[in-house]
Amino acid sequence: MKVSAQEFTASAAPLPAALPAALADGVFPAGCPSRTVLDHITSKWGVLILLALSEGEQRWSDLRRRAEGISEKMLAQTLKTLERDGLVTRTAQPVIPPRVDYSLTGRGYELSALLVPLVAWAFENADDIIKGQP
């Protein structure tokens, strides 16, 4: 079953959502590890890869197709970063031709649950935003 962004934003997250209490005075520290993590998961291609994998296990070629426009270099680089971060699992089968599957870890799945609504929102609001509509 598919849930529209409308339904999601309407039903979830009673406003306002609060920042982590650890952020003293609302200052997001520069050297903080979360800055690095945030950069990874909000990177141009990282978002799209996590998004694609939120629908289940996918092969290299699937990801290339879904994240339309991505180069092989960036796909490899992004996947390695996400794998190092423990968000994505890589499973290679020693067959010819090679077959490699990528899927989300538990933590990656947890993350995608937060990312999907964000992308859905961007998708729904994009036209108005670009056109300058209120």
Partner DNA sequence: CAGGATCCAATCGGATACTG
Partner DNA sequence: CAGTATCCGATTGGATCCTG
* Cα 134 from chain centroid (whole Å): 27
First CA to last CA across the chain, in angstroms? Answer: 30
Buried b (16+ CB within 10 A) or exposed e, 88-126: bbeeeeeeeeeeeebebbeebeebbeebbeebbeeeeee
* Rounded least distance, CB 4 to DNA, Å: 26
Is residue 69 at the binding interface for DNA, with CB under 7 A as the rule? yes
Q: Which is nearer to its own copies, 30 or 95 (CB)?
A: 30
Q: What is the DSSP string of 73-107?
A: HHHHHHHHHHHHTTSEEEEEE--SS-EEEEEE-HH
Q: Which stretch binds DNA (CB under 7 A): 12-20, 48-56, 69-77, 122-130?
A: 69-77
Which of residues 19, 73, 130, 131 is near DNA by CB under 7 A? 73
Could you say which residues in the range 9-48 bind its own copies, by CB under 8 A? 9, 12-23, 25-30, 32-34, 36-39, 41-44, 47-48
Q: Which of 50, 60, 68, 95 binds its own copies (CB under 8 A)?
A: 68
Residues of span 70-99 touching its own copies by CB under 8 A:
84-87
